[in-house]
Amino acid sequence: MNVPISQLIAALLMLAPAAVWSQETAPSSVHWAYSAYFGSGWYSVAGDRDVFVVRMTPRWELSDATLDDDGNRAVGIYLKTPISVGLNDFEYDDPLDAVDVDNLSFLSVNPGVDVEIPINKVWSLRPYASLGYGRALGSNEAAWTYWTGIKSQLAFKSGELNWRLLNQIGFVGYSPNDGPSDSFWPIMAGLEFDYPLGSSDDKGQQMLLHWYTAYTSFENDIEFTGDPKGKQSITDQWELGVAVGRRESPIKIWFLKFDRLGLGYRTSSNGEMKGITFVFRSMFES
């Protein structure tokens, strides 16, 4: 079964409800500094405030992580520069309106570095750190934003199914130019799966179906304000997602390259925080 990439992408995008794409302009309950960390997608707290974020992440590979049969190890070093833009409004029936400068709510740039360390054939560690600066457009509000932590990946294979056990502990925070700093500690456990989708095409390209599930506990609960009900404390997050990709090469759309393309759904255990995020990479590499 060979399915054109364009049809697969269209089908994935149709999984998102129309409400995700059409939001009333309103102050966001998800602070823009945290939005830069959470990545591209739509987020809502307590059902009355919404934020739409687009994050692009240029990457440069200084060295690739490898481990040969003789135990010779090479550490991978990857530079990243996440650039996050917040949108006040995103209309599904007129997406080009979102590009208007007047529709932008914030801009944040967070250069950082990932270091991948192969411990053995199945286990890898990935320390990471990022420090950047952002500004809420149309106001004097600005903040330093930062995150750091370490990820662990155990990779296994069962027939044609590849699956990975993922863990992460991190620290995320921001220091505004006016007001107190804030931070939280995300602790994550997740599973990722890859499985061939149909047969290879005439160019030998094998499509893969990727899906994942993850649970994150937020030590130092995240508190969101601006809701009529008062402060909303978010203690954790569940996430489930699906994507498609190619085994040997990235998906190319114009000048952009993607490891995979898909959607993920996020929700807190108390149901107060919900979101739909775009999936472009493995959780271990994102």
As given in the structure block, the two tokens for residue 125 are 């560690």
160 or 16: whose pLDDT is higher?
160
CA dihedral over 82, 88, 93, 99, signed as positive or negative: negative
Q: What is the value of pTM for the model shown?
A: 0.82
Answer for the pair 114, 128: CB distance below 8 angstroms, yes or no.
yes
Cα 131 to Cα 147: distance, rounded to the nearest angstrom: 7
Listed range (205-214, 224-233, 245-254, 259-268) with the worst mean pLDDT: 224-233
One-letter-per-residue 3-state SS of 16-32: CCHHHHCCCCCCCCCCH
Give the per-residue pLDDT at 1. Answer: 41
Q: What φ, ψ does residue 10 adopt, rounded to 5°?
A: -60, -40
- Say how many CA atoms lie within 13 Å of 84 toward its Cβ: 29
Domains of the chain, with CATH numbers?
5-279 (2.40.128)
| Count, residues in the chain | 286
pLDDT the model gives residue 254: 83
pLDDT digits (tens, 9 = 90+) for 75-106: 999 999 999 988 876 655 555 455 566 667 88
